[in-house]
């Protein structure tokens, strides 16, 4: 049993793995954000792009160029459901590149369309 990369404490197959393989859709913006973190850890560029809202989605991510990134953990600080179609999630993701530790602190914006959550954009906090 592999623990899920999103630090939920659940097995990967019972957590983000179900979203990554298309068995189910995220039931909340937080679940989508956690699955996107796990997708970065696992290098799942296609999943990241399809879970990104079309209005802000990049053409490609080039995760292979970031292969030296060692993701260390995720801490969800706050998830806020604004209304039926909008939510924000504040998180801190820790990672290491070339032996040096970093942290990404972001407040992400999500939108739900046709029953599916999508990442729109985020504000990096310093």
The SS3 of residue 32 is: helix
DSSP calls for 36-53? HHHHHHHT-HHHHHHTB-
Give the burial class of 57: count Cβ atoms within 10 A of its Cβ; 0-12 exposed, 13-18 middle, 19 or more buried. Answer: middle
pTM: 0.96
Domains of the chain, with CATH numbers? 12-125 (3.10.450.50)
Predicted local distance difference test score (pLDDT) of residue 68: 85
Q: What is the pLDDT of residues 36-78, one digit of tens each?
A: 999 999 999 999 999 999 999 999 998 887 768 999 999 999 9
Confidence of residue 94 (pLDDT cuts 50, 70, 90): very high
């Amino acid at each position: 049993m592999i623990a899920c990369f999103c630090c939920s404490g659940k097995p990967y197959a019972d957590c983000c793995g179900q979203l990554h393989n298309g068995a189910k859709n995220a039931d909340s913006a937080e679940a989508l954000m956690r699955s996107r973190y796990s997708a970065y850890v696992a290098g799942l560029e296609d999943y990241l792009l399809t879970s990104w809202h079309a209005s802000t989605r990049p053409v490609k991510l080039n995760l292979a160029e970031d292969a030296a990134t060692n993701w260390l953990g995720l801490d969800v600080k706050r998830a806020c459901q604004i209304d039926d179609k909008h939510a924000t999630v504040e998180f801190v993701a820790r990672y290491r590149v070339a032996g040096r530790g970093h942290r990404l602190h972001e407040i992400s914006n999500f939108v739900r369309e046709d029953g599916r959550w999508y990442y729109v954009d985020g504000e990096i906090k310093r």
